[in-house]
Amino acid sequence: IAATGAGKSHIIASIAELVHGMSGKKILCLAPSGELVEQNYAKYRATGALASIYSASLGKKDMKHSVIFGTPQTVANSLRKFDSRFAAVIVDEAHGITPTLKRIIDHMRSQNPLLRVIGLSATPSRMGTGYIYAHHYKTGFRDNAIDPFFHTAIYEIGARALINEGFLTPPVFDTVADHYDALSLAVNSRGQFDAAQIET
């Protein structure tokens, strides 16, 4: 669990490099959009290591390097290629575990029962189902986690800690001299405010 601004792309790069180095196997890093795939790929490449991109939206389906950054739908369309050669799946935006992601992970676990699944999120709680993990390394089991996908949250850093350590800029709140008088506004027949009325 890492707050926005913590550098999840750098964390993903470090984990991928570490797990590949320890296992000698391939690592699949999934992100929900091509934009995030490119961002995570760029941070990994900044370490000096080579990586591949497997994403139709980015026009690339390359698996020649040991660390592969991909989008779930493209990977799901080629599941047979993702086999026992993989040691881990790293999921960015892990609060959004979809049926497609579950299908990928289930398939890869069938190929390698020792497959590690690592998720990163700034928002590990979902409306209606609570936390995405069952156990927290500091606070123990979560009573309000309904069918969580992940077993344990193994690390957490929040915005306050990042601010205190100088990694994030502290927010500054100031009074605003201007204010709006909305007492005379009324909604129209469509239940909306008229633009002309708002501008006056």
The list of the chain residues with pLDDT below 50 reads none
Q: Which pLDDT score is estimated for 49?
A: 93
The DSSP code sequence of 111-173 is: H-TT-EEEEE-S--EETTTEESEEEETTTEE-TTBSS-SEEEE---B-HHHHHHTTSSPPP--
Residue 90, both tokens? 């790293």
- Which pLDDT belongs to residue 127? 83
Task: Note the pTM of the prediction, 2 decimals.
Answer: 0.83
- Is 12 in contact with 131 (CB distance < 8 Å)? no
According to DSSP, residue 63 is labeled -
Listed residue (1, 82, 16) closest to 50, CA to CA: 16
| Residues of the chain above pLDDT 90, percent | 74
Query: Cα separation of 134 and 174, whole Å?
Result: 40
> For residue 177, what pLDDT is reported?
64
* DSSP label at residue 94: G
Q: What is the pLDDT of residue 113?
A: 96
Identify the pLDDT of residue 200.
65
